[in-house]
């Protein structure tokens, strides 16, 4: 298991690297972006994984979010994987923007023809952190996760299901209830089949309602987001956290949309949120 | 003369707008990005124009440079035009990345078939500031200009030839001597013809050598820039400024390349440089 470097760029005193590796959980090559801040010279650092939204690769976040500045300020490594396997030539894989390529939804598929390769949950939770730990000087006990939209869903699900692995979590305009909105119903139905019991493991609000996550959750949501009412529904997460006493700060940001202009605006707050918890 | 808004996004408390307008100097439609920071509500603001490099549109800068954060911090409007006319169907226009489309070099062409439309010098110097002044609340006496690579060349030439119009100038990895490097020789030869006397008006170092520019010039140049030795040659500008007593701060940044990862790293310094002069 090793990373081949595609490119490396000096950035805010550290290095933004782009890598390719053969994924055992996915069964094909995957690309991943890793930002290593200047503090890496002084010893192991916390790791923050960012999960992107529908149609994205590592690139959108890496070039648009402005995260490197804050990662360099706080001394955290940032890992940004792709959103799905690519180029497998599975029939139907490229038919829509919200299923298949670019739309792995961070689940382990159980249905044919997806179950062999569409295993983003295991990839993000197990394989990628082990790979990063083997290639970079990280403090594996200090890991956080965040993401946008589908990736916000992924981050919340990862953290809430694995509080032993992640100390901090946040999200930008997340899909908070994947089992109950059109994007999620299509994806979970396709990857997991029509038995909705299986979907519950990938619904962030159902997971939050059960309790068990203790550190503060930060969520930013633009009020002018075109997907707000139909796909995102942050009030479902708000209610779930209230029921279980899970500490959630949900900020409704007036006038902001679903774009990286929104994400970039609040990226500094999110990385500060993680750094505070990870370095405590 | 008016701007049609293509899109607008809330960003760092202000608005990132993308506009289209019919250009009289270019003779076709042009797109331009304008960031208006939150301070615009309180009165007219200084304007900082950013000129992009080869192959770019307004988009590279607008999504990759992270400039909005600093513009919002200092209260300056940022205007980012395209790098050439587009879609004119002039024979040869799309044959190479460094001439024609995406490569206007900020000159007024004098040669057929370019002279009717490839008039980026007049567009940036005259038409665009007038248009911006008519559509936004700006302080037209407080204008600065900066850019990257070909756009760094454009910014230096604009400022040095027009000290009455621009108060501040800076550049990232600029082409400092367009009449004496391969990119510039190709472009100036094509747009201006083979009489090299005409080229002198578009060679930033020859202009600097004549003196006349008084405010400090900031230039950042990565030492790992693949174009450093063949196309950029910052030492020519350094020598010219020394001769004329023009105040230049040339910073050689170890390990940085020609990319927006480099630009983003030092964007804060550049906008602070302009804001200090423009708001003095």
Of B142, B151, B156, nearest to B218 (Cα)? B156
Name the token pair of B66: 């992270």
For residue A254, the distance in angstroms to the closest alpha carbon of chain B comes to 9
Q: C-alpha distances in angstroms, A9 versus A17, A33, B144, B265?
A: 6, 11, 29, 11
* Cα–Cα separations (whole angstroms), residue B194 to A278, B190, B200: 62, 8, 12
Query: A77, A106 in Cβ contact below 8 A?
Result: no
Kindly state the average pLDDT of the residues A91-112: 97
Calculate what percentage of chain A has a pLDDT beyond 70: 100
Q: Please answer whether residues B146 and B170 qualify as being in contact, where contact means their C-beta atoms are separated by less than 8 angstroms.
A: yes
Specify the pLDDT at position B249: 98
SS3 A111: coil
Is A42 known to be catalytic? no
Residues B54 and B148 sit within 8 Å (Cβ to Cβ): no
* Nearest chain A Cα distance for residue B262, angstroms: 6
Q: Is A134 a catalytic residue?
A: no
Residue A62 pLDDT greater than 80, yes or no: yes
Average pLDDT over residues A187-208: 98
Please report the sign of the dihedral spanned by the C-alpha atoms of residue A251, residue A253, residue A256, residue A260. negative
Q: Would you state the pLDDT for residue A2?
A: 86
Contact assignment for B11 to A64 by CB distance below 8 Å: no
Query: For chain B, first and last CA: distance in Å?
Result: 32
pLDDT in the model for residue A96: 96
Per-10-residue mean pLDDT of chain B, 280 residues long, equals 92 98 97 98 96 97 98 98 96 95 98 98 98 96 98 98 98 98 98 97 98 97 98 98 98 98 98 97
User: Is residue A114 within 8 Å of residue A85, measured between CB atoms?
Assistant: no
Domains and CATH numbers, chain B: 4-278 (3.40.50.1820)
Taking CA atoms, what residue in A is nearest to B12?
A265
Instruction: Give contacts of B259 with chain A, Cβ < 8 Å.
Output: 9
Which of B66, B70, B260 best tests the A interface by mutation, with the highest count of A CBs <10 A? Answer: B66
ipTM value for the complex: 0.95
CA angle (B235, B241, B246) in 5-degree steps:
150
Global pTM value: 0.96
- Inter-chain contact B11–A261, Cβ cutoff 8 Å? yes
Q: Is B215 a catalytic residue?
A: no
| pLDDT at residue B1, as a whole number | 56
The pLDDT value recorded for residue B2 is 86
Check CB contact under 8 Å for A10 and B68: no
């Amino acid at each position: 298991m090793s990373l081949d470097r595609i490119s490396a760029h000096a950035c805010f005193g550290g290095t933004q690297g782009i890598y390719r590796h053969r994924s055992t959980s996915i069964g094909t090559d995957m690309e991943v972006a890793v930002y290593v801040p200047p503090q890496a010279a002084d010893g192991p650092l916390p790791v923050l994984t960012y999960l992107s939204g529908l149609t994205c690769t590592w690139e959108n976040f890496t070039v648009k979010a402005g995260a490197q500045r804050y990662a360099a300020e706080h001394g955290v490594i940032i890992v940004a994987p792709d959103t799905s396997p690519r180029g497998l030539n599975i029939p139907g894989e490229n038919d829509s923007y919200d299923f298949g390529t670019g739309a792995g939804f961070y689940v382990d598929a159980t249905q044919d023809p997806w179950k062999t390769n569409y295993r983003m949950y295991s990839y993000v939770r197990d394989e990628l952190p082990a790979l990063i730990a083997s290639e970079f000087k990280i403090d594996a006990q200090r890991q956080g996760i965040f993401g946008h939209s589908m990736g916000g869903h992924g981050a919340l699900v990862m953290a809430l299901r694995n509080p032993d692995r992640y100390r901090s979590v946040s999200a930008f305009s997340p899909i908070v209830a994947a089992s109950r909105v059109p994007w999620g119903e299509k994806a979970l139905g396709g990857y997991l089949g029509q038995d909705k019991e299986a979907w519950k493991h990938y619904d962030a609000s159902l997971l939050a309602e059960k309790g068990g996550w203790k550190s503060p959750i930060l969520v930013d949501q633009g009020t002018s987001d075109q997907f707000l009412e139909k796909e995102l529904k942050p009030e479902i997460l708000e209610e779930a956290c209230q029921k279980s006493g899970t500490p959630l700060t949900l900020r409704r940001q007036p006038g902001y949309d679903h774009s990286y202009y929104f994400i970039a605006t609040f990226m500094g707050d999110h990385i500060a949120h993680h750094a505070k918890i990870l370095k405590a």
